[in-house]
Amino acid sequence: MMLAASLVSALAALAMSEATSAKDGVATKMAAIITRKRAGFMRADCAGVSAYDKQIALESVNRYGCRVKLLFIGDIVGAPGRKAVKELLPGLRERHSLNVVIANGENSAGGNGITPDKAADIFAAGVDIITCGDHLWDQRNVIDLLDGEPRFVRPINYPPGTPGQGSTLVERNGHPSVGIINAQGRVFMRGELENPFLAVKQEVKRLAPKASIIIVDFHAEATSEKIGMGRMLDGEVSAVFGTHTHVQTADEIIFPGGTAFLCDVGFTGPHDSVLGRAWEPVVQKFLTSQPHRFPVAKSRVLLQGVVIEVDGATGEAMAIERVNEKLEG
């Protein structure tokens, strides 16, 4: 149930009246919320913003709305990556009091693509939404996920008529709705896809009335393309996270408009490797220029990702923290 425009108007009026008499920062915060582009999309099911009286609204704003904590897990690679999610995610959920978990699963089936049974394993481990990328079509039966799994998202900038969906919503009683958008870059990437900037911008406008929190998984190679996406969406979405390179970057930031950003969240799987693959055949390929099989490696398995805390009323990111959890044994 959406918060009625009357409450938004009441909040705005209250902010104006309080601004003339209060200097404690509450009115300033309220005015900032009202002037944000998503101010009209605050959720009635957000704790503390559930009634049409200004006292509850004021208390909600004073507490910066309800806080929502999300974990985004970097590209899951093969059986070691799935095992890391299964064994480490419960502890992360408890430690960070997570509300929503998103994972990129495009390498979860033997390092190449994703299948319905591997997706089922990831969901059973506690992941709420699985995103994908350029390995979308590596497994033939991915079509079953595209056609029948609402928790699975593929890049939105595929041409019209492509099976599947480029975004989805996580909706739960007592919490703001969370929108997830998946997009694929074009710089140094295979495949001729539509412009991701235009596709994502249009989808953000469509989701904004339904979700105060929007997360974008931008599956791309070039750091410039990822940073450009983050800057374009600053103030429009809660977070933009880069995936694909399998190398976690250390550039986490919250942009001035309140959008959290990390150029690449890394990957979940064996790190005594080359991007999750056994390093010896990769080196031989570089040495000989001859084709080799690249099996998934086994050692030093890490779960990499990023945790953010978001103001459920405004969609602004309040905190961002990289995750590097080692799977023992």
Name the residues annotated as catalytic: 135
Q: Residue 48 and residue 201: Cα distance in Å, rounded?
A: 30
Token code pair at residue 264? 């690449």
Q: Residue 180 and residue 195: Cα distance in Å, rounded?
A: 18
Cα torsion for 244, 245, 251, 255, to the nearest 10°? -30
Asked if 321 contacts 263 with a C-beta cutoff of 8 angstroms, the reply is no
Asked if 38 contacts 230 with a C-beta cutoff of 8 angstroms, the reply is no
Q: Is 113 exposed, middle or buried (0-12, 13-18, 19+ CB in 10 A)?
A: buried
Asked if 306 contacts 268 with a C-beta cutoff of 8 angstroms, the reply is no
